[in-house]
Amino acid sequence: MVCSLSELRTKEVINAGTGIKLGYVDDIEFDTVTGNVTSIIIFGRPRAFGLMGRDDDIIIKCEDIEVIGEDTILVRFENSAICTKSRSITVENLSRQFHENS
């Protein structure tokens, strides 16, 4: 099955082991040498309407994907196996940089 990124973004990602909805596909990672997709990325949920930053991104490797269906993507992994990538920046560091540049 061939699927575009815009089609993947409409699919809900569910952990088949726990039944927990993880979110929707926001991005993908691929190997530039082989052109193969290596993982899908679900951006972290915003905390306090985005004012308190976001949770860590969830990165799911392709070998953990069981089924890509018409409406959902079923994945199976342990919670400890989730790779996360933090998108948060502390306000303290920003204010320090701002004062140093002023």
Residues 6+ away with beta carbon under 8 Å from 34? none
As a whole-number percent, the residues of the chain with pLDDT over 70 amount to: 75
Q: Give 69's Cβ-side CA count (13 Å radius).
A: 10
Domains identified in the chain and CATH numbers: 5-101 (2.30.30.240)
What is the structure's pLDDT at 94? 42
What is the structure's pLDDT at 79? 60
- 29/45 Cα distance (integer angstroms): 19
What is the structure's pLDDT at 38? 92
> Which parts of the chain have pLDDT scores under 70?
50, 79-102
pTM, to two decimals: 0.68
What is the structure's pLDDT at 49? 72
